[in-house]
Amino acid sequence: ELSFLLLDIDNFKKINDTYGHAAGDEALKRVAEVLKGHAREGDIVSRLGGDEFAAILTEVGSRTDVEEIAARIVADLARPFELQAGTAHISCSIGIALFPEHGTDAESLQRNADAALYDVKDSTRNAFRICPDAVPGA
């Protein structure tokens, strides 16, 4: 089974506003390190732009496996970390789409993960959500 994760850093603008853009860049590198640390052989992690990242988890055994990985990413990014300019406090929101349940092509998986991501951002943040149902037209 394959899973598509979209990750957005919550309130990232505060880091740039408080510490400057160099600190923001340093924070983005830290996020990338955390994501790569949770990636396994065959997984793909990428920065899409701004403060948004994507991960494709391959050979996922079950929905529970995906939930455990996402929970560890959320927990690791919620821990304060030191930047050259000071201590950063960030969190992230993650939207998840599962193949083939939420789509059988890249476009539908991304659309469904995006819907799950914005559901998290609109409700709680600092959490993850697996797409409950396929978005119409997916």
Residues annotated catalytic, as ranges: 51
Write down the H helix ranges in 1-138. 13-19, 21-38, 63-78, 106-123
Sheet holding 91-99, edge to edge: 44-49, 52-57, 2-10, 91-99, 127-130
Tokens matching residue 2: 């394959």
For residue 92 the two structure tokens come to 């992230």
